[in-house]
Amino acid sequence: MPFVNIGGVTLHHRTIEATGTSPPIIFINSLGTDFRIWDEIVARLGGEMPLLLYDKRGHGLSDLGAGVRSIDDHVDDLVTLIDHFGFDKVVVFGLSVGGMVAQGLYARRPELVEALILSDTAHKIGTAESWNTRIATIERDGIEAIADGVLKTWFTPDFHSARAAELAGCRNMLTRQALPGYLGTCMAVRDADFTEAARRIRVPTLCIVGDQDGSTPPELVRSLAELIPGARFEVIRNAAHITCIEQPDALASLIRDFVASLGRR
């Protein structure tokens, strides 16, 4: 299992090499998940374009380090990871909070970003009240107390009824998440607002959302796309928040088409 020490934080990562001239795509996972959520996307795109997956600080097998206080902490790790691998330009795919990290990277180091894919995310997610309620519940009762509600936003009713084994596995991934990493990232999302930063994005951007996303609904993701000049907006049918697990064929097709369009600019 590959690990790299980034500024005193050990990050778990995986690289998939490819021939050709496509820029590498870096995938940033959502709150309470790890990079296993990309398995089906890797199965479809591996070999076509270089891919880098990693567990955010405090998630999966990555260290918590000094903790998470803001999106900037996750951006720090991503910038140093890009420098470690010597990438000149990258396509950044961010899911949910990962999309906020991607926006934060562009705001800080736009010269590193070839393009953005922002999936089931927004410039501002939730309210201080909603996040504080979640944080207080977890501090009192643990992640188990919110797991069923979270899974209803992650996946459609059809997924819940037809893919019980996968649902159970995703529930395990969520409930076994280390509390400090989860809570710190909740606080980071609560305090983040990229509304003005989104208006300044000047690279090709694809905004994607599942049509039944209960966490960042289509109208919210559309509002992000409308902030970003020239952004493309796509809705994946029969999917909720974690589109990469629920509809990997549709998502991989969108990624493939978008990356190909970069070469035609």
pTM, two decimal places: 0.97
The residue type found at 40 is: E
Buried residues in 157-174 as b, exposed as e (16+ CB within 10 A): eebeeebeeebeebbebb
Predicted pLDDT at 21? 82
The architecture CATH gives domain 3-263: 3-Layer(aba) Sandwich (3.40)
- 3-class secondary-structure state, position 207: strand
Cα separations in angstroms, 255 against 18, 123, 178, 190, 258: 15, 21, 31, 28, 5
Q: Residue 88's pLDDT is what?
A: 93
Mean pLDDT by 10 residues, the chain (265 residues): 88 92 94 98 95 97 93 96 95 98 98 98 98 98 98 98 98 97 98 98 98 97 98 98 98 97 77
Cβ-based burial of 140 (10 A; exposed 0-12, middle 13-18, buried ≥19)? exposed
Per-domain residue ranges of the chain = 3-263
pLDDT per position as a tens digit, 109-138: 999 999 999 999 999 999 999 999 999 999
Instruction: Give Cα separations from 52 to 2, 3, 17, 174 (angstroms).
Output: 11, 12, 9, 22
Instruction: Give residue-wise pLDDT tens across range 10-27.
Output: 999 999 999 878 899 999
pLDDT at 86: 95
Position 264 scores a pLDDT of 60
Which residues does residue 53 pair with via DSSP β-bridges, in sequence order? 14, 27
